[in-house]
Every structure is written in structure tokens, then in C-alpha cells.
Structure 1
Amino acid sequence: MTVDTEIAATDAAVANASVLRQQAKEIVSRYAVWSSAFGVLPVPIADVAGITGTQISMIAALSKLYGVPFSKSWVRSILGSIVGGVAPWAVTAGVVSTVFKSMPGIGLGVGFLGMAGLSNLATRTIGNLFIDHFEAGGDLSNVDTDAMRESLSEEMQKKK
């Protein structure tokens, strides 16, 4: 193999990785929009269920894209561990947004916007964490939930 052939092969691998990452980012963006849509549901608990389902579907799509075996039960457990340990203010913000959605007038608008923004941010962050994990060769059996929870918490704190 010549140096030119090796360089061409490396360039092709980098281009493929770039295309794959772009496709992954598009998946995350699409599911973040859906997550925001579920965030504005006026029915308490239904919004959280919709957001969680959206995040599970997003991880399934990313798993398929990266050729990683998918297990819905593993993902539920992983998400529960990551999201369940996020800073208390994020959970409180979600609850407050849900409560505001049940109030007529300005409370309704504040609740919708708060929950939509919070769910979009969380879904994007979780998606990006899984992209990084899969690109590093990880799969669902070796997710570092503590590191992901910390990263999610830091991102939520930045956007506070």
C-alpha cells in the first residue's frame, strides 16, 4: 500500500465519519423537536411519558445508525439513571412548568414554554452524549451513566 493510498483511505474514513455524525445530529434535532411538542401537552404526566418515549426512540434510531444492538429495557434503565439524578432544579423546573400549564392565562404560556425548552435541551444533550459514546466504540452495555448524568446536569446548569 502506497502513502497516497493510505492517505486516500484515511480521508475516506474521515468523510464517512463526518457524514455519519451529520446524520446522527439530524436524528437528535428531529427528536428534540418532537420532545418539545410533547412538552406542551396540557395533560400532566402525559408530557413526561411522551418525552421519555421520544428519547427512547431517539436512542433506538442512533443505535441503528451506529450499528449498536438496541434494548428498550436497557435504555429505560439508562435514561432513568441519567435523568433521575439530574440537578433538583431541573426536575423542579419540569414540575413547575407542568403546574403552570394547568393555569389559565399567562401561567399556561409560561408552562408550555418552560417544559418545551427543558425537554428540548434535555433530549438534545442526551442525544449528543449517546453520539459521543457510540463514536467512541461504546454500546448500551457500557454506558457510564454517572458521567452522562454529570454532563447532562452541567449542560442544564449552563442554560439555567
Structure 2
Amino acid sequence: MTLKQVTARSAINKYSLLAGAAGLIPAPGLDMLGIGGVQYAMIRKLAEQYNVPMPAKEQVMAIVAALTGSLGATKVAYGAGGSLLKSVPLVGTTLGMVSVSVFASALTYAIGKVFMMHFETGGNFLTLNPDKLRGHFEAEFRAGAAQAA
């Protein structure tokens, strides 16, 4: 394993933890904003490390949305529903915080691993094809969920 790979994996783990922490924000909606910001910062860090030019934030987030769409409505609803659950006092807040934290950590881990693999093979934002990476993304999401739980 190269130093670049070790550094990238370390960054992915760091940002996954930060996304999990953002998932603990008790306010519905603010948690999702925090998670999105952490994911964008991680992608920017990986792109910088692999010397890949960054496009506009909107383009990056569109790629992330295309990747996460492969999880299916059930898993995406789980993350969004957990955020809404936080509006229920006490039990809802606690359950929502835990579920969103685990979901955010796993999602961020998977996004990071996909971008790392793509950049490792010489890819950039223009050549990233979410349809071709869905299987890898889903496998990394499962690995991230096991790690976060």
C-alpha cells in the first residue's frame, strides 16, 4: 500500500467519523446539511491528494446524489426518516440521532472509497460513471455500516 493510499484511507475514516458526529445534531435538517458539508470536504481532500481538478460544488453533489440513488428508496428513506424522527421528543430524538449517525458514517465511507478507487485508476470527475460504480458503492456501504455499528 502506498503512502497516498494510506493517507486517503485515513482521510476517509476521519470524515466518516465527522459525518457520524454531524448525524448526532438533534435538529432535523441541520444534520443533513452538516453531513453534506463533511462529504463535500472529504471529496475535495481526496481530489487534492490525487491532483484531480475540482468542478463546481453542484456538480460534485450531483455525482454523490447519483451514487446514493443506487441504495434504493428504503435505505435513503431510513436516513431521511431518522432525521425526521428527531422531531419527536426524547425517544424519537435519541433513536433518530443514533440511526442518522450510523447511516451518515456508512454513506460517507462508501462515497470516499468509491472516489478513492476512481482516482487511483486515473479517473476524474468527468470520467466518473455512477452506473458502473454502483456495485462497488453498495459493497462499500455495507462495509461502512458494519464498521459504524
Match 1:25 to one of 3, 6, 9: 9
Q: 1:134 to 1:157 in 2, by over 3 A?
A: closer
Q: Does 1:59 align with 2:49?
A: no
Between the two proteins, the alignment pairs up a number of residues equal to 144
Q: Does 1:114 align with 2:99?
A: yes
CA distance in 2, matches of 1:73, 1:46: 19
- Would you say the 8 A contact 1:39–1:116 is kept in 2? yes
Q: Does 1:49 align with 2:33?
A: yes
Higher Cα Rg, which structure: 1
Deviation of the 1:26 alpha carbon: 0.9
Q: Does 1:132 align with 2:112?
A: no
Supply the RMSD in Å over aligned alpha carbons: 1.9
| Misfit runs of 4+, over 4 Å | 154-160
Q: Counterparts in 2 of 1:69-80, with a 5 A limit? A: 69-71=53-55, 72-80=57-65
Alignment TM-score, normalising by the size of structure 2: 0.86
Letter of the 1:79 partner, please give it.
V
Deviation of the 1:156 alpha carbon: 4.2
CA distance in 2, matches of 1:48, 1:122: 12
SS at match of 1:61: helix
Q: Percent identity?
A: 28
Q: 1:129 to 1:112 in 2, by over 3 A?
A: same
List gaps (5 residues or longer) in structure 2.
none
SS at match of 1:141: coil
